[in-house]
Structure 1
């Protein structure tokens, strides 16, 4: 039987809300750049409340790497906290900035 994205335990998809000084500091660009470098998929966007929202999908290692990156942020960002919600992987490809 072939694994589908919803029953594949080797892949993970998360929604991360990043709090802190994360807008106007290159955070979305750096996130997209890092995701592309490691082969993770998803998207990132600014929210009206000053947070950054990202959905990230990939192997367990890729998603863990991206969570570590989100905690560091871009050079001028200050990350205070990240809320993470587990989602069902959907097999999406590529990473975009909204």
Structure 2
């Protein structure tokens, strides 16, 4: 299992990005979480098989229709200990 910690910037808050990412991650069988950050970015830990992870990372660059993604900072991370994908409170 591979894992990445993402920091997504642009117009990504108030446009349904987190709910969209939860659906995308679950559809691809990924584990992890997503949350808004107080600086206006969205942060997500995504983990799973490499093909599924790459598909979701590609989708994250587009985001939902109302979003405008200007950048994604990706770092390697430890996979989460619990299965499933959830939405967390703002940090």
Same fold (TM over 0.5): yes
Q: Where does residue 35 of structure 2 map in the other structure?
A: 45
User: What are structure 2's unaligned runs of at least 5 residues?
Assistant: none
User: What are structure 1's unaligned runs of at least 5 residues?
Assistant: 1-10
Q: Counterpart of 1:81 in 2: which secondary structure?
A: strand
Q: TM-score, normalised by structure 2?
A: 0.92
Find the structure with the greater CA-based Rg: 1
Find the aligned partners of 2:72 and 2:11 in 1 and give their Cα distance: 12
Find the aligned partners of 1:70 and 1:90 in 2 and give their Cα distance: 19
Q: Counterpart of 2:56 in 1: which secondary structure?
A: helix
Match of residue 8, structure 2, among 4, 7, 18: 18
Q: Counterpart of 2:38 in 1: which secondary structure?
A: coil
How many equivalent residue pairs? 88
Q: Where does residue 19 of structure 2 map in the other structure?
A: 29
Following TM superposition, the consecutive aligned residue runs of length 4 or more in structure 1 with deviations greater than 2 angstroms are: 88-92
Q: Counterpart of 2:23 in 1: which secondary structure?
A: helix
Find the aligned partners of 1:93 and 1:75 in 2 and give their Cα distance: 28
Q: Where does residue 67 of structure 2 map in the other structure?
A: 77
Q: How does 1:58-97 map to 2 (within 5 A)?
A: 58-97=48-87
